[in-house]
Amino acid sequence: MVELVRELWNRIVFAGKALGDAVCSMVGVVLETEREVVSVISEVIGATHETKTQAVPMVFLDLLFSVTYMPFVAAVFVILRFLVDDEKTDYKQWPRSFEQFKHLYASKIMYLPPVDEKNKYVIFSDVHMESAIDVKRGIGHFYKNKSLCLSVLKHYAEDRAWTVVFLGDSEEFWCCNDLDDERGVVDKIEPVIEQNRDVYVILSDNFYKNMNPHRFIKIRGNHDDVWKEDAAVSKLAAQGFPGIRVYEFGVIPRNGSEILLMHGHQFDPYNCDANNFFGKFASSLAGETADKMYGLIVSFFNFFHLEVPRIFGVVLAPFFKKNEWYHEQLSLVQSPEMVDDFVFHESIVGILAKRYGCSLIVGHTHGPKVIKKHGIASHFYINSGTSSCWEDCVWTVEVTAEDVILAAWTSESKGSATYQFKLSEATVEF
C-alpha cells in the first residue's frame, strides 16, 4: 500500500512538472511572436529602444500578449505549490551540532586556510551569467554589469593574497529548453562560458591556473545545480580549470572562530534541491512573466510621470535600476533587519548560527546585509547580495583578519568600493 501511494505521488509530481514544461513551451511561442511583432512595428515607425519602451501603444500591445498566458502561469503555479513538501528543505535534515554537520557533509565542504595576511577572501554571489541566447530572449541581467564585474575582479587580482569565492548561482541554468533533462542543461554550459569568456579567463589566469593552492573556489547554488553532475564539472575543467571541484559548503577559520559559507537555497523550501521543480518553473516561466509585467508597469507609470509601485520582490527577484536601488534598496542595507518572507526565513539562519556557534555568509536572496550576533561581535550573518540584479552595482564580501566588509562596487569606484558596510561598525543584532 505504501509503495502504491508513493508511486501515485511520484506520478502526480511528474504530471505537474510535465504541465509546467508544456506551458513553458507554449508561452515561449507566444513570447517569440510578441517580440517579432514589436520588432517589426518598431522598424516601421523607426522607434528607438527608449521610445519603444515608453510608447503607450507598445505598452498595451505587450500587455495584450502577456494577459493571454497569465492564467496558465497562475494555474501551474498553484499546482506546483501544492506539491512542495516543506519538510524536505535542507536545513530540516541537518544535525544539531556543527561538528556533526561537518562530519556528515565532509565530502561537500571546502576547508579553506585560516585568514591571515597571506590569505584573504572575497566572495561574489548570484552572478547569474547567462548565454547569448538568454540575452537575445531578454532573460538575465548580468551582461549589463559584466564590464563592472571584470574591473572588480581585476582589482582583487592585483593582490595575490585574495582568494575569490563564487557562492552559488554563478551561472543561469534554470532558463533552459529542457529543465527536466540534465543533458539539456549540461549543453548550456559552453554557451554560457562563451558569452562570458572574459570572466572565466580572468578567474583562470589570475586565481586558478599555476596557483598553489588555487585561489578560485566554486560553491554551487540552485540556479547552477547542474554542477552536481560530473559531466558538467568536466566541461568546466576543460575551460581552464583543470581538476576543479564544485562544493556545496565552505568553511573559513577566522580569529579563532569559523565562518560557514553556503548559497542559501538550503533554507528555501521552494528552491531547495528536493523541491526545485517549483523553483525551476518560477524562474523559467513565472519569473520571466513577472519581469515582463513589471517592465510594463514601469513603462506605463514613467510615461505619465507617476511613482512606480513596488509589487515584486517577495517571491521573485527583480532587477533594480540604479535610481531605484540608490533611493530605495540602499537604505535597507544601511538599516538591515532579519526578514521572514514567503520563500526565505532569515530567522532560521540566525537560529542555525546560534546553534552551530559560527558565522554564516549566504547569498540567494539578492538582499545584501550585515547583522552581528548578540553578545558575540565576532559572530555574524552576512548576505552577500548579487553581482547581476542591481544596475551598475557589484556586491562583494571581503574577509580579512582586520574586518569583514560588505562592499558595493559601482562605476564610480576608484581603487576602493563606493559603499562599505563593516562588521566592526555593525549595530543591528540577531
Q: What is the arithmetic mean of pLDDT over 73-77?
A: 66
Instruction: Say yes or no: 180 and 75 in one domain.
Output: no
Which of the pair, 71 or 262, is modelled with greater confidence? 262
Per-residue pLDDT at 66 exceeds 60 = no
- Identify the domain boundary among 304, 323, 342: 323
pLDDT at 278 over 50: yes
**Same domain assignment for residues 263 and 277:** no
pTM score, whole prediction = 0.82
Q: What is the pLDDT of residue 89?
A: 96
Residues 55 and 172 reside in one and the same domain: no
Enumerate long-range contacts of 80-83, CB under 8 Å, 24 or more apart.
Answer: 80/16, 80/17, 80/20, 80/277, 80/278, 80/281, 81/270, 81/278, 83/12, 83/13, 83/16, 83/275, 83/277, 83/278
pLDDT digit string, tens, across residues 114-168: 999 999 999 999 999 999 988 887 778 899 999 999 999 999 999 999 999 999 9
CB burial string 379-399: b at 16+ within 10 A, e below: bbbbbbbbbbbbbbbbbbbbb
Looking at the structure, do residues 154 and 6 belong to the same domain, yes or no?
no
Taking each helix axis from N to C end, the angle separating 142-157 and 197-207, rounded to the nearest 10 degrees, works out to 20
* 155 located within any domain: yes
Q: Which residue has the cell 510594463?
A: 296
Taking each helix axis from N to C end, the angle separating 287-303 and 56-83, rounded to the nearest 10 degrees, works out to: 150
Within-domain flag for 248: yes
Same domain, 206 and 345: yes
Would you say residue 185 lies in a domain?
A: yes
- Same domain? 81 vs 104: no
- Residue 134's H or E segment, with its range, is helix 132-137
End-to-end, the C-alpha distance of the chain in Å comes to 47
DSSP E strand stretches across 128-273: 162-167, 216-219, 246-247, 249-254, 257-261
Q: Which domain holds residue 51?
A: 2-86+271-323
pLDDT tier at 180, thresholds 50, 70, 90 = very low
Span 195-220, average pLDDT: 96
**Mean pLDDT, to the nearest integer, of 8-14?**
51
Domain boundary among the residues 283, 298, 323 is at: 323
Query: Do residues 253 and 364 both lie within one domain?
Result: yes
Residue 182 has a pLDDT of 47
Task: Give the count of beta carbons closer than 10 Å to the beta carbon of residue 127.
Answer: 28
Secondary element (H or E) of residue 321: none
163 and 187 both lie in a single domain: yes
Same domain, 77 and 106: no
The verdict on residue 165 lying in a domain is yes
Contacts of 426 (CB under 8 A, 6+ apart): 370, 371, 372, 380
Q: How confident is the model at residue 217 (pLDDT cuts 50, 70, 90)?
A: very high
H-helix or E-strand spanning residue 188: none
Examine the domain organization and report whether 207 and 296 are in the same domain: no
| C-alpha to C-alpha distance for 262 and 123, rounded to whole angstroms | 11
Is 129 inside any structural domain? yes
Within 8 A by CB and 6+ apart from 178, the residues are: 21, 184, 185
Whether 430 maps to a domain, the answer reads: no
Query: What is the CATH number for 370?
Result: 3.60.21.10
C-alpha radius of gyration, the chain, whole number: 22
For residues 395 and 256, state if they share a domain. yes
Position 205 pLDDT exceeds 70: yes
- Better-predicted residue by pLDDT, 232 or 29: 232
Greatest alpha-carbon span in the chain: 67
pLDDT greater at residue 342 or residue 103: 103
Count up the domains in the chain and report the number: 2
- 82/407: higher pLDDT: 407
CB neighbour burial string for 16-40, b if at least 16 within 10 angstroms, e if fewer:
bbebbbebbeebbeebeebeeebee
pLDDT digits (tens, 9 = 90+) for 375-385: 887 899 999 99
CB 58 within 8 A of CB 40: no
Q: Is 93 in the same domain as 72?
A: no
